[in-house]
Amino acid sequence: MTRFSANLGFLWTELSLPDAIRAAKAAGFDAVECHWPYETPAEDVAAALEETGLTMLGLNTIRGKPGENGLCALPGREAEAHAAIDQALDYAGKIGTPKVHVMAGFAEGAAAHETFVSNLRYACEQAAAKGITILIEPLNKYDAPGYFLTTSDQAAEIIAEVGAENLALMFDCYHLQIMEGDLTRRLTARLPIIGHIQFASVPARSEPDCGEVNYAHIFAHIESLGYDAPLGAEYKPRETTASGLGWMTTFGGGS
């Protein structure tokens, strides 16, 4: 049976992070994940995770200054990028989170590529000591115009160049359907480097029960590949989070 992780960056945003964890447990999610938890004391998050028995699967490095979307591909900002990586790894260690998404930011060109690779090597080295996997995620050019990392091919090349065993691809079906399509074959091809899978409807980025992607097929295909980790529900509810959870029963998860 497919298992699901609630992305609390989009779900139950009206609640505190600890209470959102409790709401996800009550709704039948198997795990949780988030974006930027840093304003919430790690001990409060850890307590909620222990209470519910859920794991916080992943979190992001900070975006940077207002209007930015990550630091790690920005030439000349290496000190800030390393600080962001250290912050994320420290927080992840305190709450038992196994994966950290290192955000590239708005950049382009050879210098950005070299900077991203260098910062990822730093991240992977620091993360290895804590048993943490580093993730990189291609974002689509409509939601994040100018973002450095946009395709799974580009991500695969970077992962190969960095050469770290604890670097993997965040395969977000929403972003990659927009940028590349052909999700069934792409999931198969990228399986060896996938560290986490997320989903949302396309193009609305709402619950996965509408739009151009047949998630009944996609989830069954993922299961057929032998991938059994919880899939990340990273979507923006049409109304409230609670009122939109019928898809979980449809797709074989939830209470």
Catalytic residues: 137, 234
Give the whole-angstrom CA distance, residue 7 versus residue 159.
24
Give the whole-angstrom CA distance, residue 114 versus residue 132.
23
Residue type, 16: S
Are the CB atoms for 61 and 70 separated by under 8 Å?
yes
How far lies 117's CA from each of 160, 191, 200, in Å? Answer: 10, 21, 29
Sheet with 194-199: strands ordered across: 31-33, 4-7, 231-233, 194-199, 167-172, 133-136, 99-101, 58-60
Q: By three-state DSSP, how is residue 152 classified? A: helix
Residues with Cβ within 8 Å of 224's Cβ and at least 6 positions away in sequence, in order, are: none
Q: By three-state DSSP, how is residue 193 classified? A: helix
- For residue 45, give the nearest of 66, 84, 16 by alpha carbon: 16
Q: By three-state DSSP, how is residue 218 classified? A: helix
